[in-house]
Chains A and B, each alone.
Chain A
């Protein structure tokens, strides 16, 4: 059985995603920091997203650049930034610079307990307004069927992948 993924707006300007993996932290950490592995899971098939390129120099100060394509997007989508902290098997911090300097900072922590690893990913926005704006523009949202359905019902704006 798959472990549940939970999402929560933990404060005015922070969003957290939590998931437990049935493996030690060093293994999970490896899958987050080696580009050839990252590439295999970061663009889920069920979402129709494919990697055009995936560069990740997972060292403190190193940079990353992910380029994706999606059938509904006329242009490839680019995401890039810098690793502010890479502490093996326990912590990753990176910036998100594709929309300028005011992007959110992502912190991922890996906590191992009894052979399992709890991963918590936190996106900290500069302000409440910045997170509200990201939500309003749908910049990071997925395209689940339920989601589209709700969006359509509400006559909402675009919700990109």
Chain B
């Protein structure tokens, strides 16, 4: 059973905060690619692209496998990424509700004081 900890979510959203990494995900959504291909497409050095892919891999959004000298990247398990997104969306909805609930709770507290 995979646990969706806050650390895991943080890693996913940090991974997505960068335009290049979002581009890489889009690219991999179309077809798998090697780090060299990706570096070429995004006009980056191999080292730079390795770093980006590392961040995406750490967040579980991308998986890589090495065959000979070539490291091929593809999207991570889709269900995991979807579930991560869904749970984060759910959290955001409840956080928004609870922030408004805070105000009502505060109001009720004040009323109680003045009773």
A contact residues vs B (CB 8 Å cutoff): 2-9, 11-12, 15, 17, 19, 21-23, 27-28, 30-31, 37, 40-42, 44-47, 121, 132, 135-136, 138, 140-144, 146-147, 149-151, 153-156, 159, 161
Contacts and interface: CB of A to CB of B under 8 A. Distances in A.
B42 interface: no
Contacts of B78: 154
B74 to A, nearest CB: 13
A45 B104 contact: no
B104 A40 contact: yes
Contacts of A135: 82-83, 86-87
The dominant DSSP class at the A interface is mixed
B105 A8 contact: no
B86 A138 contact: yes
Given A3-B102, A146-B16, 15 more contacts: A7-B4, A7-B87, A23-B109, A28-B101, A30-B108, A31-B108, A44-B93, A45-B100, A47-B96, A142-B96, A144-B93, A146-B13, A147-B86, A153-B26, A155-B29
B81 A8 contact: no
B100 A154 contact: no
Given A7-B94, A15-B90, A44-B99, A22 B105 contact: yes
Given A17-B94, A153-B25, A154-B29, A27 B109 contact: yes
Contact of B89 (A23, A28, A147, A153): A147
Contacts of B83: 9, 135
Contacts of B85: 147, 150-151, 154, 156, 159
The dominant DSSP class at the B interface is helix
A23 B90 contact: no
B88 to A, nearest CB: 6
A121 B84 CA distance: 19
15 contacts: A5-B98, A7-B4, A7-B88, A40-B104, A41-B104, A44-B96, A44-B97, A132-B79, A138-B86, A138-B89, A141-B90, A147-B92, A149-B22, A156-B82, A161-B93
Nearest to B105: A23
Contacts of A5: 91, 94-95, 98
B6 interface: yes
A135 B83 CA distance: 6
A155 B112 CA distance: 50
A47 B4 contact: no
Contact of B100 (A3, A6, A44, A147): A44
A41 B79 CA distance: 31
